[in-house]
Amino acid sequence: MRKRSKFIIAAIVAIGSICLAISLASVSLYGENRKIDDVVSTFFEKIKNKQYQDVCLDLSGDNQKTFFSTSGQCSDSVFLFELSLLKHYNLLNNDSYRVEVRRTHFWMPFSQDRSMRVNIALEGENKSSVDKTLSIKNLFNFVKAHFTAEPRSDSRFVKDLLTVERRNGVWMIRGINIDNNGIGSEYAELKGQLRLGRYVREISDGFIIERVEVNAKDLTPVDKRVLKYNLQKVQNLIGN
């Protein structure tokens, strides 16, 4: 009888230990995959706050040479990138927006896959925000989404817009992909139509404010953003 009781206790302890290990592993995987979302969210927060130069510093040199292979500055390209997304989602009149992140797959440790492509969707800021806190409910939804059912495709998302890479245990933005997902055509169209230097032209020791008459009533949403961007460049050039 005693042996049977000891066996039952040992079995309960073993099962409890396995459940605890599975729970800890699930929390760890949840946290590591959430880091990908956080990196992407931080990337877009800097863009939303017009910190285009900081975004350029975060991007790798190789990515700047490929995607931002233009005669202009990197900050101009990041501005056009944001403008393309806002036009794509009809958010040019919105003061702010929310970014929804969807990973293409679930990252597992000890795998040879060190990078992941991320799908992005933009919404007006008035939409309800997503709860990102670590809770039992969120953990359950996370496990359900990645292990019990194949998530349905959503046409709202721009496919494979960003590539995130894990280096030395840290996730970072590795690439911006605008080909074959609709954003490339928006970007090329805006780049061809806009003259970002029509209000302000930088020179070696300062800048020149071009003589341009601005009728506020005739400004389109794109014109307003271009004008604000140029005024911000002036502010950055003269300092605080």
Check whether 172 has a pLDDT greater than 90: no
pLDDT for the residue 71: 44
For residue 230, what are its two tokens?
């140029």
- β-pairing verdict for 170-176 and 158-167: antiparallel
**What is the mean predicted confidence (pLDDT) over 137-161?**
62
CA distance 143 to 36: 16
Q: Is the pLDDT confidence value at 73 over 70? A: yes
Q: Among 91, 217, 204, which Cα is nearest to 156's?
A: 91
More confident residue, 127 or 123: 123
- The two beta strands, 158-167 and 200-203, are unpaired
**C-alpha 28, offset from chain centre:** 22
State pLDDT tens for residues 188-211: 888 888 877 777 777 777 778 778
Which of 28-42, 47-61, 221-235 is least confident? 28-42
Q: Tokens in use for 115? A: 């990078």
Yes or no: say if 99 and 46 are a contact pair by the CB < 8 Å rule.
Answer: no
Res 87: pLDDT? 93
CB 37 within 8 A of CB 121: no
**Tokens of residue 181, six digits:** 């997902």
Of 10-14, 108-112, 166-170, the range with the lowest mean pLDDT is: 10-14
pLDDT at 218: 85
Q: Is the pLDDT of residue 46 over 90?
A: yes
Instruction: Give the per-residue pLDDT at 152.
Output: 47
Q: Does residue 193 or residue 7 have the better pLDDT?
A: 193
- End-to-end distance of the chain based on CA atoms, in angstroms? 82
pLDDT of residue 27: 46
Please tell me the predicted confidence (pLDDT) of residue 21: 47
119-144 mean pLDDT: 62
